[in-house]
Amino acid sequence: MALIQNIKIAVDAVVFGYESKKSLSVLLIKRGVEPFKDTWALPGGLVLEEESLEAAVKRELKEETGVTIDYLEQLYTFGEPKRDPRNRVVAVSYFALVKPHHFKIEASTDAVEAQWFTLDKLPKLAFDHKKILEMAKERLKAKLTYQPIGFDLLNKEFPFSDLEHLYTSILEKDIDRRNFRKKILSFDILEETDKISQKGSGRPAKLFKFNQKKYNALLKEGFHFEIKFV
């Protein structure tokens, strides 16, 4: 019996944004075509015949939002038969974490609008994009336990409270600040500078910076970054 397939391949991008002392956000587009016209969705679209998945997700992100990202990490493949009402579409999803102010967003092609939304004020999403977003959030939280992600999202020199806020924003819960500070400093990948931050009426705070060279050298020696959150 001949096998007949009519399956299309698509890509979707979950781009998280973080800025110091603010909540975690996600980049969404408002669809300009059916199905789900005028509904918010993740940037994405169909893969072209002679195009790799990575090239497709970067192209769709650029076309629909104006955002260019060098690195997106593959998240998961979603292939429920009726996830798209038009036809059978298998979607390969990707995610990234960026500083929103580094990009000028501009909607085009199938998107009539592009906008950052904080995770606590999300609109209704098209297709199964809520499910994709939730899985990306869980992956991001998990990565906090085994990779020092986030230092690129902070200023080059930062008070330790900014690092704490980044973690609490991504985890969406409070952390034991004393144990967190002790654990991070024990890795010896942060350098204490001779500078002081004075913001508002609060206490002056010492500034730190992430030592990327030291971290890379430790990795070659078998260093394992691990933080457990209860």
Question: What backbone phi and psi angles, to 5 degrees, belong to 81?
Answer: -55, -35
Q: Catalytic residue positions? A: 113
Give the helix ranges, DSSP H, for the chain.
53-65, 129-143, 160-171, 177-186, 212-220
Q: Sign of the C-alpha dihedral, residues 25, 26, 31, 36?
A: negative
**Paired tokens of 186:** 């024990």
The number of residues making up the chain comes to 230
Contact criterion met (CB below 8 Å) for 185 and 51: no
